[in-house]
Amino acid sequence: MEKHIKGLTFVLVTLALYSCSNGGKKENAPTPPNIIYILADDMGVGDIQAFNPDGKIKTPHLDQLAADGMRFTDAHTSSSVCTPTRYGIMTGRYNWRSTLKSGVLWGDAEGLIDTARATVPSILHNQGYHTAYVGKWHLGWNWAHDEDGNIDFTKPITHNPNDNGFDYAYGHVASLDIPPYVYVENGKVTALPVDSTESTDKYGWWRKGATGADFDHEDVTPNFFRRSIKYVQDRAASDKPFFLYLPLPSPHSPILPTAEWQGKSGLNPYGDFVMMVDDYVGQLVASVKEAGIEENTLFIFVTDNGCSPASKPDELIAKGHHPSGPYRGFKADIYEGGHRVPFIAKWPRIIKAGTVNTQTICTTDLMATCAEIVGYQLKDDEGEDSYSLLPLFEGQDLSQPFREATVHHSINGSFAIRKGDWKLAMCPGSGGWSFPTPKEVKEMDSLPPVQLYNLKEDPAETNNLQSTYPAKVEELKQLLTQYITEGRSTSGKPQTNDGNGVWDQLWWMK
């Protein structure tokens, strides 16, 4: 009898935990959050006033997002250009471990992420989330082709975002200056090309290419936000959590602020475009609140690399606005301005409003973060370079650095590694588009092969200390070599990097 009573008590307690008062869910188990991840394109860390109070572009909505959540002041993309950064976000793996060792993909490139590889959306999907992508993909997909090798827009597209974990996928293949210019929804073109458009405008330039009947360059960013807001409204009524990945094509060139925003910044069209993006972010945030799901929605805003030279930085700086803040360089560079970006996280249930975090983080960290949130244990071949941000969101006081070290990568495949205050760049110049470019380095033929900077004392990277601290150079070089050869920078079994080609930038390993 005693055994029966104890068993009955156990059953009753168990049933109580699944009481109908909360729809049959465990009362002591927190509901997984909705996750909205906005990735702006080519926006500098100095373009948002919350990160640069002296900035001249008004960004009230992003400033409010930061005030309501956590602002990370030492956040980095894994690359200083877009395709590689997107790869790292989706896979939790450094981009240079893929077959793409430098540069970006073009409009007819095949899918970069192996469909057998786990991604953020595939993990969340398997944990009960509805997953959606709306925006600029720029990770390649497999178009069908006719007998002459031309894209056949009438046929389904394979190796598309749906094959990488998204239940719903809508967007275009690459940047708005790289054709073809068509929308693709769940593997099918929404409207066949009816024209071949191009623009030679100083700011709104794009290459000539096939353009869909429903594709208006100026309306692409507004269209993505309208669809995202509609998605939030539709999913809010469901008990199933959702993951919305919104990779914007803006403020990347072509720089196309709509009529109501033209001239608003008092700087140039780029400043106007940033203000437009800020306003749309505010509308999306408001839609979450209006839907009644704000408290348990994790909202992340970040950019895919630093500000682009297409923004005409000289014009901005002449008017007192520094898009890279106090940092050197811009998009494509190994310098801080190429990959140090604004990063904001808001999650009212977990993140204390108005907090600032100074830990070094990377955009590859999304996968481990989402995995920990939903209680999923990453396998050895998943998220090899991803660290969970959840302890930082929770405000845990970490006595040690959050990451052991972080690897940076430029457009030409140059490497840098950051550990603590120290950064070692394994190239003599920018590795990108700023002076000295790789071409200019060859012409100068006098620069040291590596650069060592103490970012705490020299955030502008003006004083190369490589000859003063040779032991520090060797320490960081060895750690970078270890990260490369072991196929991971987190703990776990060594993994294999993709691609059989020679990595020209790994000169120190030859």
Distance CA 79, CA 414 (A): 10
What mean pLDDT comes out for the span 441-450? 92
Percentage of residues of the chain with pLDDT beyond 70: 94
Task: Quote the CA–CA distance of 218 and 258 in Å, as a whole number.
Answer: 7
pLDDT in tens, 270-314: 999 999 999 999 999 999 999 999 999 999 999 999 999 999 999
Is residue 181 scored above 50 in pLDDT? Answer: yes
pLDDT for 87-120, tens place per residue?
999 999 999 999 999 999 999 999 999 999 999 9
Question: Which segments of 162-219 does DSSP mark as H helices, in order?
Answer: none
In 3D, which of 415, 408, 407, 423 has the Cα closest to residue 488?
A: 407
| Cβ count near 257 (within 10 Å) | 25
Average pLDDT over residues 196-204: 93
Least confident of 20-29, 184-193, 406-415: 20-29
Quick one: which of 133, 136, 134 has its CA closest to 125?
133
Which CATH code for domain 406-509? 3.30.1120.10
More confident residue, 15 or 468: 468
Nearest C-alpha neighbor of 246 from the set 101, 401, 111, 134 = 134
Q: Where are the domains of the chain?
A: 34-393, 406-509
Say yes or no: do domains 34-393 and 406-509 share a fold: no
Residue 469: alpha-carbon gap to chain centroid:
33
Residue 351 near residue 345 (C-beta atoms within 8 A): yes
pLDDT over threshold 50, residue 185: yes
Residue in the block written with tokens 């072509």? 254
With CA atoms as reference, report the closest residue to 345 among 357, 360, 333, 332.
Answer: 357
Neighbours of 275 (CB within 10 A): 22
List, as one string, the DSSP characters of 16-61.
HHT-GGGTT--TTSPPPPEEEEEEESS--TTSSTTT-TT-SS--HH
Stretch (H or E) spanning 334: none
- Out of 7-16, 134-143, 410-419, least confident range: 7-16
pLDDT at residue number 362: 98
Write down the pLDDT at residue 29.
59
Q: What is the pLDDT of residue 22?
A: 36
From residue 148, how far is each of 107, 152, 195 by CA, in Å?
A: 17, 10, 19
pLDDT value at residue 8:
36
pLDDT in the model for residue 25 = 38
Which pTM value belongs to this model? 0.93
User: Average pLDDT in the 317-332 region?
Assistant: 98
Amino acid 402: pLDDT: 87
Q: Name the residue among 232, 297, 291 with its Cα closest to residue 68.
A: 297
CATH class of 34-393: alpha beta
Question: Is residue 360 over pLDDT 50?
Answer: yes
Q: How many other C-beta atoms lie within 10 A of the C-beta of residue 360?
A: 23
340, β-bridge pairs? 76
Classified as helix, coil or strand, 355 is: strand
Q: Looking at residues 215-236, what average pLDDT do you find?
A: 98
Asked if residue 251 has a cis previous peptide bond (ω within 30° of 0), the answer is yes
Residue 277 amino acid letter: V
Task: Pick the closest to residue 451 from 344, 336, 310 (CA basis).
Answer: 336
Percent of the chain residues past pLDDT 90, beyond the cut: 89
CA distances from 219 to 37, 63, 106, 254 (A): 21, 25, 22, 12
Q: At what angle do helices 269-290 and 60-68 cross, to 10 degrees?
A: 50
Closest CA to 298 of 494, 11, 32, 15: 32
d(CA 495, CA 486): 6
Instruction: State residue 33's pLDDT score.
Output: 98
Is residue 341 within 8 A of residue 303, CB to CB? The reply is: yes
Say which residue, 349 or 30, is predicted with more confidence. 349
**Predicted pLDDT of residue 28:** 52
Is the pLDDT assigned to residue 493 strictly greater than 50? yes
Q: What is the pLDDT of residue 397?
A: 78
- Position 504 scores a pLDDT of 76
Mean of all residue pLDDT scores within the chain: 93
Q: Which amino acid is at 249?
A: P
For 267-315, where are the E strands, in sequence order?
297-303
